[in-house]
């Protein structure tokens, strides 16, 4: 092969004189490949063999450079035990804030909104209880009375939202 990338290969008159597999990597670099010898009997099959080798090498390189693909995970189910003892067949995380994972809504799936409401409910209940406790010994100031009333109202209006979940 010359510096200009021109390769001349004598393939001879008999098949098998030149090993296409062995020459393929070298000839891949060539800009131009001229085959000399029995054009119909040897050179054409040799050329085809070269092409096949190159194609296979390219495919193998592409396959190797591809990141391995995970086998598709089957869609997961809630799987928590139902009342009848069978695993729940509802989709995982169905009706929660994290669809696709974890238990479904019916089996205690985490819902940030519901959690926040429950925290708020606990805070309001504590506020009401504190004011109620204080009112037994000391009269509440108008401001405290208002805060207790607001907390109690919020607590009462919050409860229906938590029902039916
Ligand atoms: Zn479930």
For the chain, the structural domain boundaries read: 6-65, 76-109, 111-162
pLDDT at residue 164 in the model: 47
Tallying the residues shown for the chain, one arrives at 165
pLDDT at residue 17 in the model: 77
Separation of CA 30 and ligand 1 centre (Å):
65
- Cα dihedral across residues 77, 79, 82, 84: positive or negative: positive
Separation of CA 77 and ligand 1 centre (Å):
8
Span 101-138, pLDDT tens digits: 888 988 887 777 777 888 888 999 999 999 999 999 99
Separation of CA 113 and ligand 1 centre (Å):
19
Integer Cα distance of 61 and 102 in angstroms: 40
Span 26-76, pLDDT tens digits: 888 888 888 888 888 888 888 888 889 888 888 888 888 877 666 666 778
Separation of CA 106 and ligand 1 centre (Å):
5
pLDDT class of 165 with cuts at 50, 70, 90: very low
Average pLDDT, integer, range 77-86: 91
Tell me how crowded residue 93 is: count the other CB atoms within 10 A of its CB.
Answer: 20
Separation of CA 83 and ligand 1 centre (Å):
10
Which pair of structure tokens corresponds to residue 46?
A: 């040799």
Integer Cα distance of 32 and 1 in angstroms: 9
Separation of CA 48 and ligand 1 centre (Å):
61
pLDDT at residue 28 in the model: 82
Say yes or no to pLDDT of 92 above 50.
Answer: yes
pLDDT at residue 124 in the model: 92
Separation of CA 85 and ligand 1 centre (Å):
12
Separation of CA 80 and ligand 1 centre (Å):
5
Separation of CA 120 and ligand 1 centre (Å):
26
pLDDT at residue 88 in the model: 93
């Amino acid at each position: 092969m010359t510096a200009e990338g021109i390769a001349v290969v004598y393939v001879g008159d008999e098949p098998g004189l030149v090993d296409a597999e062995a020459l393929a990597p070298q000839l891949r670099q060539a800009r131009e490949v001229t085959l000399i010898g029995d054009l119909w009997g040897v050179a054409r099959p040799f050329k085809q063999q070269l092409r096949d080798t190159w194609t296979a090498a390219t495919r193998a390189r592409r396959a190797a450079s591809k990141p391995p693909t995970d086998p598709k995970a089957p869609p997961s189910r809630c799987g928590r035990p139902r009342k009848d003892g069978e695993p729940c067949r509802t989709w995982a995380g169905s009706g929660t804030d994290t669809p696709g994972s974890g238990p479904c809504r019916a089996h205690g799936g985490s819902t940030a909104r519901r959690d926040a409401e429950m925290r708020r409910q606990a805070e309001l209940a504590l506020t009401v209880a504190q004011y109620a406790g204080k009112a037994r010994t000391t009269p509440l100031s108008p401001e405290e009375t208002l805060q207790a009333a607001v907390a109690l109202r919020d607590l009462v209006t919050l409860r229906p939202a938590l029902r039916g979940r």
